[in-house]
């Protein structure tokens, strides 16, 4: 249960996340954040705090070296993520099908969603959201295109908190290109 929100606007990406840690009916407001910077990437995760810890602290992400960023993300970046999750004991393998978790990635002004089957996705909209609050966040994002990206992300997270039992403040935001991380 969570809400991670990303906006791609005017050559930059903002990703924000809530602080809920949910296990069954129990909820804990976590001190460790679900959004972070790793090298030239910004990321926000759902699925498991263990997966997020591996992405944040163990992943040595490759630096894009080609003009075809989608191709790079689908191949080199995903290969590094798969290796990291497998080496960290998080990736699952059922009947030869490897799976991980879901997270958002911002790099060079582009916003990507990485799904549990390791496919990359980009939206024709300038936003993505994942987690239990994603539908509420997307509704907010759809109607807020005239606002600055960080304000859009905050409002989307506020909508998710209002409508979802698995989303809690404080919110944390990271930017691509780099700016100071904000909480609130």
Name the pTM for this structure: 0.93
8 Å CB contact between 167 and 158: no
pLDDT digits (tens, 9 = 90+) for 41-98: 999 999 899 999 999 999 999 999 888 999 999 999 999 999 999 999 998 888 878 8
pLDDT at 172: 97
pLDDT digits (tens, 9 = 90+) for 169-182: 999 999 987 665 56
Largest distance between two CA atoms of the chain: 47
Of the candidate CATH numbers 3.60.20.10, 3.100.10.10, 3.20.20.70, 3.40.50.720, the domain formed by 4-178 belongs to 3.60.20.10
pLDDT digits (tens, 9 = 90+) for 130-171: 999 999 999 999 999 899 999 999 999 999 999 999 999 999
Read off the pLDDT band of 1 (50, 70, 90). Answer: confident
pLDDT digits (tens, 9 = 90+) for 6-16: 999 999 999 99
Tell the residue number behind the tokens 């909820």, with chain if given. Answer: 27
Instruction: Identify which of 169, 126, 132 has the alpha carbon closest to the alpha carbon of residue 145.
Output: 126
Tell me the residue ranges of DSSP E strands in the chain. 4-9, 12-17, 20-23, 26-29, 35-38, 41-45, 92-94, 97-99, 103-107, 110-114, 120-121, 127-130, 172-176, 182-183
pLDDT digits (tens, 9 = 90+) for 103-112: 999 999 999 9
pLDDT at 182: 60
Instruction: State the DSSP code for 22.
Output: E
Neighbours of 3 (CB within 10 A): 31
The tokens of 31 are what?
């001190």
- CA dist 61 and 166 (Å) reads 30
């Amino acid at each position: 249960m969570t809400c991670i929100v990303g906006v791609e606007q005017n050559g930059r990406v903002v990703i924000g996340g809530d602080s809920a840690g949910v296990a069954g009916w129990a909820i804990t407001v976590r001190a460790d954040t679900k959004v972070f910077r790793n090298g030239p990437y910004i990321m926000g995760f759902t699925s498991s705090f263990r997966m997020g810890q591996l992405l944040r602290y163990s992943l040595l992400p490759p630096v894009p070296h080609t003009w075809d960023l989608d191709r790079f993300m689908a191949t080199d970046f995903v290969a590094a993520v798969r290796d990291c999750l497998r080496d960290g004991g998080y990736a699952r393998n059922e009947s030869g099908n490897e799976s991980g978790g879901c997270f958002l990635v911002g790099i060079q002004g582009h916003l990507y969603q990485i799904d549990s089957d390791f496919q990359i996705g980009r939206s024709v909209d300038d936003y993505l959201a994942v987690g239990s609050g994603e539908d509420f966040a997307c509704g907010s994002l759809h109607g807020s295109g005239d606002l600055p990206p960080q304000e859009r992300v905050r409002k989307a997270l506020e909508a998710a908190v209002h409508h979802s039992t698995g989303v809690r403040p404080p919110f944390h935001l990271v930017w691509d290109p780099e700016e100071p991380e904000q909480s609130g």
